[in-house]
Amino acid sequence: MAAALPMCYHGAISRKECEDLLGKKNKEGAYLIRDSETIQGAKCLCVYKQRVVYTYRVLQTHTGLYTLMGVFFKTLDDLIRHFKRRNQGLAMHLRHSVKRKTAMLSPPSKRPASQVTNQTLTQGAVQPVATTPPDATKPITLLL
């Protein structure tokens, strides 16, 4: 039986929708997981830091393990637990989950194992992509 998907998994939302959700949360270390728009079967771990959304590609091996930054995990929950610790290589450690509001109606798309190669794993896990939420020019009020 497949492991349940974490509540921070939003499925096939766009990069812009992701940026909007993280921008609304407006907390350092806010994060969510979404499906990649460019690589079928891959996921993106998106982390908010200083009005910038850092996107890390999470790939799944033919054995079902998830990999990010050269580390392998049995489940997305294991991956999240690992990156909640400081100094694990992300721009910011995971602190505030942005949960989806509705249940997933269908399972995430599966990628044929033959499409995941060592080169794909290396390319996908090395560098984050930083994007700025559309409302980043607006001042942020900090409530202390």
Rounded to an integer, the average pLDDT of 70-98 is: 97
Task: Among 7-21, 98-112, 128-142, name the one with the lowest average pLDDT.
Answer: 128-142
What HEC string does the chain produce? Answer: CCCCCCCCECCCCCHHHHHHHHHHHCCCCEEEEEECCCCCCCEEEEEEECCEEEEEEEEECCCCCEEECCEEECCHHHHHHHHCCCCCCCCCCCCEECCCCCCCCCCCCCCCHHHCCHHHHHHHHHCCEEECCCCCCCCCCCCC
Does residue 144 form part of some domain? no
Does residue 110 form part of some domain? yes
Range with top average pLDDT, 9-13, 101-105, 123-127, 133-137: 9-13
Rounded to an integer, the average pLDDT of 60-89 is: 96
CB-based contact 3:80 (threshold 8 Å): no
CA distance to 37, 95, 125, per residue, from 20 (Å): 16, 18, 24
pLDDT at 4: 81
Does residue 111 form part of some domain? yes
Domains of the chain: total: 1
Does residue 31 form part of some domain? yes
Range of the domain at 100: 15-131
Does residue 140 form part of some domain? no
Q: Which of 86, 97, 46 is nearest to 68 (CA)?
A: 46
CATH code: domain of residue 76 = 3.30.505.10
Does residue 42 form part of some domain? yes
Does residue 142 form part of some domain? no
Residues 24-33: pLDDT tens digits?
Answer: 999 999 999 9
Rounded to an integer, the average pLDDT of 114-123 is: 45
Q: Which of 81, 78, 108 is nearest to 94 (CA)?
A: 81
Residues 1-53: pLDDT tens digits?
Answer: 456 899 999 999 999 999 999 999 999 999 999 999 999 999 999 999 999 99
